[in-house]
Amino acid sequence: MKLLSGASFQRLESAVHAAEMRQGVLANNIANADTPNFKRSEVLFEELLEQQMGQQPERKLVGLRNNERHLHIGKTSAAASTTQISTDSATTMNNNGNNVDIEREMALLAKNQLSYNFYIQQINHDAKMMRIGIEGRA
């Protein structure tokens, strides 16, 4: 029996995966801040999640895949469908064709770290509440 397989936990799990992916993308942007013609990338998660949440009233059948060999039924998993990497190739910040603003990237990195910490704390809290419910003590 999987106690942590509800929709709320799956959204938290997707958020953690998106934060991990965002960390790598931001680190790559910062590392290439002086690379000529490098174009920054960003992870789209919150926007896509809001779009999916807004489309919820239809409520189509979605199968639970607990093994990678299982077939997809309905929509794909939340993590795969709500996380994308987008490259901004339309703008230029420096004379060398690069569009990385190091101050902005560092601020986004700090914001992402705070979000990641919040998601992990929430997962720990949910697991603690499950443990209290099972064991019956605090």
Domain annotation covers residue 41? yes
Closest CA to 41 of 113, 91, 103: 91
Question: For residues 132 and 61, which has the higher predicted lDDT (pLDDT)?
Answer: 132
Domain annotation covers residue 38? yes
Domain that holds residue 52: 7-91+98-135
Express each pLDDT in 2-27 by its tens digit.
Answer: 556 677 788 888 889 999 999 999 99
Domain annotation covers residue 17? yes
CA distance 93 to 97: 7
Examine the pLDDT at 53 and tell me if it is beyond 90.
Answer: no
How many domains is the chain built from?
Answer: 1
CA distance 88 to 138: 49
Residue keyed to tokens 């106690």: 3
Residue type present at position 6: G
Domain annotation covers residue 1? no
Angle at the Cα of 7 from the Cα atoms of 85 and 111, rounded to 5 degrees: 45
Examine the pLDDT at 60 and tell me if it is beyond 60.
Answer: no
CA distance 54 to 12: 18
What value does the mean pLDDT take over residues 50-73? 63
Say if residues 100 and 87 touch (Cβ distance below 8 Å): no
**CA distances to 37, 99, 100 from 94, in Å:** 9, 6, 8
What backbone torsions phi and psi does residue 85 show, to the nearest 5 degrees?
-105, 125
Examine the pLDDT at 29 and tell me if it is beyond 90.
Answer: yes
- The mean pLDDT of the chain is 81
Domain annotation covers residue 2? no
Domain annotation covers residue 131? yes
